Amino acid sequence: MNLKKEDLKKVQRALSSAYKAGGDIEIGDAWERRVMARVRGLGPLRTRRGVTALFEGVWRFAPVAAAMFLVLGAVLYQRMDILSEYEMARVFLETGLDDSLFQILGAS
């Protein structure tokens, strides 16, 4: 609903005068019945179906999945001993595979 500025001013004046009047304005039962009949006449809201509804559900869980990924990644990073794997790889690369394999097997 797009109101012009002058119409908006009229609505604001009417609402402010009704507010200042306080509880002097009585609303009858007929008004309430008409409003409720109008609300019932609107019917249920339309639901989205298909691909768009699927993607909305996926995006709701994306922040939770990202947070879980970060927490699990931090836990795995702390539990894994990366330095020792790095040291083993360095020993194999520096001394050569044949020498290291013979040393492991005990033959020299």
pLDDT reported for residue 98: 60
Rounded Cα distance, 95 and 102, in Å: 11
Q: Tell me the per-residue pLDDT of 58-108, one tens digit each, with 9 for 90 and over.
A: 788 889 999 999 999 888 888 776 667 777 777 777 766 565 566 666 654
Single-letter amino acid, residue 21: A
Tell me 50's DSSP state.
Answer: S
Q: Tokens representing 16?
A: 């402010």
pLDDT bin (cut points 50, 70, 90) of residue 6 is: confident
Rounded Cα distance, 99 and 108, in Å: 8
Where in the chain are the domains?
Answer: 5-42, 51-105
Q: Tell me the per-residue pLDDT of 11-57, one tens digit each, with 9 for 90 and over.
A: 899 888 888 877 666 777 888 889 899 988 888 877 767 677 677 77
